Amino acid sequence: MHDSVSLLIDHWKNDPHGTYNTWFLWEERLKNFRSIRRGIGEVVRDIDAGTFGNAYRGSSLQTVVGSVAEQRQIFKGADHAFLWKPKLRIPDIYEHEANQRAFARLLNACDCCDTPEAIIEAIQKIDALKIKGLGPAVANLLYFIHPTLVCPFNTAIVNGFNALTGSNVKLGRWDHYLSMREGLIRLNEQHRHKLSNDLGAIAGLMFDVGSGRYAAPPRLEDPGVIALWESDLQRVREESTAAQKQWLLAMESDATHTQIQGWLRDMGKALGFDVWIASNDRGREHADGFLGDGCLQQWPGGNGQGLDSVRLIDVIWLEQGSAQVAAAFEVEHSTSIYSGIVRMLDLALGTQVGAASTLFLVAPDNRRDEVMQQLKRPAFSRVSELGIRYLPYSQLKEHRETIGRFGSSIKPLIEISQLL
């Protein structure tokens, strides 16, 4: 079985359309951890302050769970477990104040701890309360707090684990989730050199097995059965499927995102600014070089509060030789606008952003309404103070060369963008 699982992992990692390449290695994935964790903190603060309300829609929980659900196929549908179903009264955290506060204690305890024992204790406490409808789906939030200690959870992951290990883990039960977690950690340790200390990798493998992309290794050591299984593994990589089309679309999305960053980089340099490119994007190929060519390699403002998030902002223009931010740009091609807004808040609160600084959300023309809807959420009540502007792709594409050639400040960008 050990060798068969190793073979399965090898095929899975080499499959350009499996979750390892389409999600786990997706560069945008890492950007989401801080923003989602901050969103979880906002949920806790709202509950503690008594301002959370008694509905899912419009709450800070809907905002952060929606951001989780946008993290590609493995988290698709993650919001379903949190939708308020009044006829069933599940999950019972909206109209039951004590349950709501217990939920906040779970989130806060996991956010503040750093050991598996403390996490398990917090989960056991919430499990003991038997809150109706509040089950292991919450682990999808906890994963973004502690990716090396908590594994994601959904039906496909459970089905994959059961198929691979012969277990009988059931949905909706915290004790079964904890048992699966222990099993996944053991399996991950056995194949640590092929996987990661981030449990998202092993969960992604279970997801692809459980959703039917790959069959689990056969339990009978029959050469004919094993050969047929190996043939099926190879076929999965070679055949054209709907997943392949989705991957191509995702690749096109990433390429467009990089192109927009390149436009902003070149325009900023032409206007005489020092340019910062998101630290995890600098090595992306662009034009005849890399996106980070000719840009700052170290943030000039030291290590202020929120700087880890700021370093992930797509493009920042700074006054030459200083830490004064002139303009910052978050490119939101197809991913969650929530994360970009959170990084803008971190920039404004933790760095030298003054009255002369302008913050831009750069997005396709058809995403303006989506941007506006996000900004109306209670979690972003302070955003209106920042004067964030919406810069549509079409305006940037049409005017970027002229601005770069004849401009001397960010004033032309103000004229082609809209105040949100």
150 and 209 belong to one structural domain: yes
Measured CA to CA, the distance from residue 298 to residue 283 in angstroms comes to 14
The answer to whether residue 6 sits within a structural domain is: yes
Do 282 and 192 share a structural domain? no
Domain end call among 209, 236, 263: 236
Task: Let me know how long the chain is.
Answer: 420
Secondary element (H or E) of residue 182: helix 174-190
The domain boundary residue, chosen from 236, 264, 292: 236
pLDDT tops 70 at residue 47: yes
Predicted confidence band of residue 66 (pLDDT cuts 50, 70, 90): confident
Between 31 and 301, where is the model more confident? 31
**Total tally of structural domains belonging to the chain:** 2
pLDDT at 209 (0 to 100): 94
On the question of a cis peptide bond just before residue 91, with omega within 30 degrees of 0, the verdict is yes
Tens-digit pLDDT profile for residues 138-197: 999 999 999 999 999 999 999 999 989 888 888 989 999 999 999 999 999 999 999 999
Average pLDDT, the chain: 84
For residues 350-371, give the mean pLDDT: 75
* Residue 305: band (very low, low, confident or very high) from pLDDT cuts 50, 70, 90: low
* Helices and strands (DSSP H and E) totals, the chain: 17, 8
- 241 within domain boundaries: no
Mean pLDDT computed over 92-106: 95
In a domain, 242, yes or no: no
Going by pLDDT thresholds of 50, 70 and 90, the confidence category of residue 322 is confident
The predicted pLDDT at position 97 comes to 93
How do 325-331 and 358-363 pair as beta strands? parallel
pLDDT digits (tens, 9 = 90+) for 274-303: 999 998 889 888 888 899 999 998 888 666
pLDDT given at position 2: 53
What are the respective helix, strand and coil percentages of the chain, to the nearest 5?
55, 10, 35
- How far, in Å, CA of 92 to CA of 78, rounded? 17
The pLDDT, as a whole number, for residue 130 is 93
- pTM of the entire structure? 0.67
Q: Are residues 95 and 165 in the same domain?
A: yes
Helix axis angle for 174-190 and 155-165, nearest 10°, is 60
Same domain, 206 and 186: yes
pLDDT of 232 > 80? The answer is no
| 395, 417 Cβ separation under 8 angstroms | yes
Instruction: Kindly tell me if the per-residue pLDDT of 202 is higher than 90.
Output: yes
pLDDT at residue 241, as a whole number: 47
110 and 175 housed in the same domain: yes
Full domain range(s) for residue 357: 248-419
Give the whole-number percent of the chain exceeding pLDDT 70.
Answer: 84
Give pLDDT tens digits for 369-383.
877 777 777 666 666
335 — pLDDT class (breaks 50, 70, 90)? low
Q: Which residues touch 363 (CB under 8 Å, ≥6 apart)?
A: 331, 332, 333, 337, 370, 371, 390, 391, 392, 393
Higher pLDDT, 383 or 237: 383
Residue 76 clears pLDDT 90, i.e. is over it: no
Lowest-pLDDT range of 79-83, 119-123, 133-137, 164-168: 164-168
Find where tokens 């803008």 sit.
344
Domain assignment of residue 243, yes or no: no
Q: CB neighbours of 14 closer than 8 A, spacing ≥ 6? A: 237
- Is the pLDDT confidence value at 253 over 60? no
CA 248-339-379 angle, 5° bins:
145
What is the pLDDT, as a whole number, of residue 197?
95
